[in-house]
Amino acid sequence: MTKTPQIVDSHCHLDFPDFDGEHDALVERAAEAGVARMVTICTRLRLVPQVQALAEKYPSVFFAAGTHPMSAASEPLVKLEELLKLAEHPKLVGIGETGLDYHYTAESADIQQQSLRIHIEAARQTGLPLIIHARAADDDMARILTDEYQNGPYSCVMHCFSSSAELARAALNLGFYLSMSGIAAFPKSQDLRDIFASAPIDRILVETDSPYLAPPPHRGKRNEPAYTAFTARVGAEVFGLDYAEFATRTTANFDRLFSKAAAYSAAA
């Protein structure tokens, strides 16, 4: 019997109420689809306990924490010390998600930028990857990421990348990674697939951003980590690879960027 190629859902939200009471089945379905690990993202620091509990319960689940840009004005401003303390947890493997969202919350641009810079400093000091949400803010995002990198290097993934080719180039020039979500599998997303195709394969991750953005054939329904496989199959086509090779390459990319998760898994 051929073993299902193993992939990683590098970004999901398992603590969201969409999944209440289903976590055991959710993790089992992910494993059956070849999703061997997943990173669940805490978007408000006051919710860390429930996100952390999921990572502690399931061997395949890791977590990251930060203040989402759309919540930057309504939540207390994140403190560097908070993030550094959280990073001491053995399964906290990333900083964020953070970033800029001017589509819905342009009025809080200043506080978003302030919050972003604090998260960047935490990524720099901990060596953990920064997890970036970028929407309708390409120029400011490229400027801040580049300016901060000149102040000291850090690693980063542009989660659920669906921005411009210019922002993709700016991120790739800094050595950052681009993550493919279900958006990349939508029929009308050819321009986005072209952006990914022009990127080095060793800078590509896959994710669901579940419960959002389910790829075909589940588009319009609740997304879940198992569906990473559908996006990954489209990704394999984009890069002209068979599915097993694409799975191997993107898993290696995840292990390189999320090295703390890789070390934890290797020691388990």
pLDDT over 60 (residue 67): yes
Show the tokens assigned to 27: 């993790």
pTM for the full predicted model:
0.97
Residue 38 CB neighbour total at 10 angstroms: 31
Higher pLDDT: 1 or 105? It is 105
Q: What is the pLDDT of residue 268?
A: 83
What pLDDT does 3 receive? 85
**133-156 confidence digits (pLDDT tens):** 999 999 999 999 999 999 999 999
The answer to whether 214 touches 182, Cβ cutoff 8 Å, is yes
Fold of 7-267: TIM Barrel (3.20.20)
- What rounded mean pLDDT belongs to the chain? 97
Q: Is the pLDDT of residue 2 over 70?
A: no
What type of residue is 209?
D
Task: Say if residues 100 and 140 touch (Cβ distance below 8 Å).
Answer: yes
**Encoded tokens for 5:** 């190629």
Q: Which residue has the tokens 């959280």?
A: 86
